[in-house]
Amino acid sequence: MRDQKPEHTGSLARRMMLIAAGWITILLLVGGVALDRTITNLLQNNLDERLNYILTAMVGSAEIDSYGDVWFNRVLGDQRFLVPNSGLYWQINGSDQEPFPSNSLWDRTLELRGDHSKVEPVYYNSEQFQGEELRIVERSVRIPGSDSDWTFAVAADRAELEAEIADIRSILFWSFVILGLGLILLAWLQVYYGLSPLRRVRRAIQRMRGGDEHRLTEPLPYEVQPMVAELNALLAHSEKQAEEARMHAGNLAHALKTPLTVLVNAATARDPKLSNLVHRETRVMQRQVEHHLARARAVGRRATGLSRAEVWPSAESVLRAVTRLYENTRFDLDGNKAARVAIERQDLDEILGNLIENAAKYGGGSVFVTVDANRDDPDFCDIWVEDDGLGIPEADRIRIFDRGARLDTGKPGTGLGLAIVRDVAEIYGGKAELRESEDLGGLLVILRLPRSKATRDR
């Protein structure tokens, strides 16, 4: 069956390019519109200033003759006023007087508004001439020697202005198109170069899958390095789990080899005590299998990182079960009822069961269990299990944790209880140590387990 490709949410590079292209387009559009309006207003203001300059010159050179008509004491300099339909015109209107137009108007007359103050000139657009859109500036003044107001006006065809605006807009459009394409190309180069470390990581993983490498050792940018460090840690964790699995399989095979050899030899020799041997050796094999299964379960649960258990209910449950087996033993439970540890409840039950059952089996009739004996430690929870037995000599306290090690061979057992406790505790980041009980005089087992995160954060 072919491996199915994992689902994805699209290309990261495509997302970055779409965002960059969108912002570039928006900014260029806004900038282009603003620049177009600015240049258009500048050209419009420039035309208005030129018209106002001519208007001021007309007002300054205008006089009233003896007949009451307006005349200029000097000729206006622009020759277009003399050419019919040249696109530049002036006209003077007076009350009770015929309009006085420039030669460029020929047989046409400007229709002026005249509804404005005498202080400032008035600018406006007009389409009164067919085929010409005019820009007109007019102003009402009173000429010395006249009793009435006169309206002076200068008009210019906007065709030249519109042509200039069209040329500038064309230049702006193509300039912004080229600028936009250039910016998008730069954004693509930035995305391509910025994501190149991820492609290098992918190629390195391909080499690792091919067996050429075992770790990501290539120098990478600061932002990618934490991901690489986590990936290397994950690889190391996987290798450690694989090595632990191989070691457990080898240990289990070695542990089962001796009982199987004993059974095979007894069966071959037709030993009359074969049934007793089968019973005894199968119990040993069963305990070995349980031991290694407990380790395997603990390793698998530890990998999730979400293990959490309450110590007090687990201890109560174990004590109820052990009390039925050792009815003449007195059990006491004390300590912090709210203590929580970062371990699965099933594994906590198993290691507490081993410790409490051993204390009842090898003690003198009293077992004390103290939960969270050292509350000052914010990271670890200490669980004490004490008995009033003979204890274990200090020289044997390390060896007793080995699989199959037993000091009292007169009582039934496989010597795996403390080994299971040590192995499971170490898998979760804890430990177990043996001391002498100051209160009862027997053995004190200190089980140290990491507190759950919820407890540490309180």
The predicted-structure confidence for 56-106, as pLDDT tens digits, reads as follows 888 888 888 777 778 888 877 788 888 998 999 999 888 777 888 988 998
Residues 6+ apart with CB under 8 A from 283: 414
Q: Which of 276, 304, 332 is the last residue of a domain?
A: 304
End-to-end CA distance of the chain: 50
Q: Which of 112, 143, 164 is the last residue of a domain?
A: 164
The predicted-structure confidence for 313-332, as pLDDT tens digits, reads as follows 999 999 998 898 888 889 99
Q: How many percent of the chain have pLDDT more than 90?
A: 28
pLDDT mean across residues, the chain: 81
Do 300 and 315 lie in a common domain?
Answer: no
How confident is residue 408, by pLDDT bands cut at 50, 70 and 90?
A: very low
The predicted-structure confidence for 151-207, as pLDDT tens digits, reads as follows 899 999 999 899 999 999 999 999 999 999 999 999 999 888 888 888 888 888 888
Task: Give the per-residue pLDDT at 406.
Answer: 44
User: Does any domain span residue 135?
Assistant: yes
Residues 6+ apart with CB under 8 A from 171: none
Q: Which of 270, 304, 338 is the last residue of a domain?
A: 304
Q: What CATH number is associated with residue 112?
A: 3.30.450
- Comparing 27 with 399, the larger pLDDT belongs to 27
The predicted-structure confidence for 305-314, as pLDDT tens digits, reads as follows 567 889 999 9
DSSP assignments along 331-376, one per residue: EEEEE-TT-EESS-HHHHHHHHHHHHHHHHHHSSSEEEEEESS-TT
Do 90 and 152 lie in a common domain?
Answer: yes
The predicted-structure confidence for 236-281, as pLDDT tens digits, reads as follows 877 777 777 676 666 666 666 667 776 677 777 776 766 776 767 7
Do 436 and 339 lie in a common domain?
Answer: yes
Q: What CATH number is associated with residue 412?
A: 3.30.565.10
Do 233 and 322 lie in a common domain?
Answer: no
Task: Give the per-residue pLDDT at 41.
Answer: 93
The predicted-structure confidence for 417-438, as pLDDT tens digits, reads as follows 677 788 888 888 898 888 888 8
Task: Collapse the DSSP code of 52 into the 3-class scheme (helix H, G, I; strand E, B; otherwise coil) and give the result.
Answer: helix
Domain of 160 in residue numbering reads as 33-164
CA neighbor of 108 nearest in space, from 84, 127, 126, 131: 84
Q: How many distinct helices (H) and strands (E) make up the chain?
A: 9, 14
Do 293 and 374 lie in a common domain?
Answer: no
Do 452 and 317 lie in a common domain?
Answer: yes
Task: Give the per-residue pLDDT at 412.
Answer: 45
How confident is residue 302, by pLDDT bands cut at 50, 70 and 90?
A: low
CA atoms within 13 Å, Cβ hemisphere of 192: 6
What integer is the mean pLDDT of 387-402? 78
Task: Give the per-residue pLDDT at 135.
Answer: 93
Percent helix, strand, coil in the chain, to 5, is: 50, 15, 30
Q: How far is CA 407 from CA 153, 159, 262, 281, 432, in A?
A: 124, 114, 23, 20, 18
